[in-house]
Amino acid sequence: MPDLHAAPPDALIAVQHLHKSVTDSTGTLDILRDIDFSVAARETIAIVGASGSGKSTLLSLIAGLDVPTAGTVRVAGQDLFALNEDERAALRARRMGFVFQSFQLLANLTALENVMLPLELAGARDARRRATDMLARVGLGERLSHYPKVLSGGEQQRVALARAFVVQPQVLLADEPTGSLDFATGAAVMELMFALNREQGTTLVLVTHDREIAARCGRRITIEGGRIAAQ
């Protein structure tokens, strides 16, 4: 009998029968329960749901940053959890970019150095030129030598976007990327993210509580009580 949850053969990301539970002295808490969906190349997906519904945990599992209790995630056909931690890190470096609510910039590096870092780790010889060009693309061409502490929240998130897109990832994973920004700044950052996404043909998986941002994505997946309620 065919598996009704089997991923399409052309799926870039396939999440299959994914469960995540944690156990402590009070018992076992089921965070995610039998999550199944797939994402095609170039698709834009918003993962939505109430606080505590499991959205960020799901994103961490898609990235291979966390390990499920059961089930698997395949990226470009590769089972993430058949890989060891180092192999998953190598796959992330090749295929994924990340944008977080808290920016995750290195305080002791300038804007330029923050954006150069993933290129240098990948062995790119033209890291400085590519990082400089990408910072200019996000409107920070005059802020190359500035450290994060002297940049505004919106500027820091634009540095984070530049760092994520400079490696031209197949997949961009974003966790509440405007959560720390005021409305106007957040709107400008999201406009930039979608523009870069279109330019590079990146697949976008975005966790958000913002209905307007979610509405801009091609598809929404709603998580309730650790299960998919709608998609």
**Close Cβ partners of 141 (under 8 Å, ≥ 6 residues apart):** 132, 135
**Gap between the terminal Cα atoms of the chain:** 24
**Close Cβ partners of 4 (under 8 Å, ≥ 6 residues apart):** none
Which run of H or of E encompasses 133? helix 127-137
**Close Cβ partners of 114 (under 8 Å, ≥ 6 residues apart):** 105, 106, 148, 159, 163
What would the pLDDT profile of 60-110 be if each residue is shown by its tens digit?
Answer: 999 999 999 999 999 999 999 999 999 999 999 889 999 888 889 999 999
Cα distance between residue 3 and residue 9, in whole Å? 13
Looking at residue 6, its pLDDT comes to 56
List the domain range (segments joined by +) for residue 204. Answer: 11-222
Looking at residue 9, its pLDDT comes to 62
Residue 148 placed within a domain: yes
What would the pLDDT profile of 197-222 be if each residue is shown by its tens digit?
Answer: 888 999 999 999 888 889 999 999 99
Residue 195 placed within a domain: yes
Query: Domain tally for the chain?
Result: 1
Which run of H or of E encompasses 132? helix 127-137
Residue 2 placed within a domain: no
CA distances from 112 to 145, 162, 207 (A): 6, 10, 27
Residue 231 placed within a domain: no
Residue 1 placed within a domain: no
Residue 150 placed within a domain: yes
Separation of CA 25 from chain center: 32
Residue 129, classed as helix, strand or coil, is helix
Pick the closest to residue 74 from 2, 18, 17, 12 (CA basis): 12
Cα distance between residue 222 and residue 8, in whole Å? 21
Q: What is the CATH number of the domain that holds 155?
A: 3.40.50.300
Whole-model pTM? 0.87
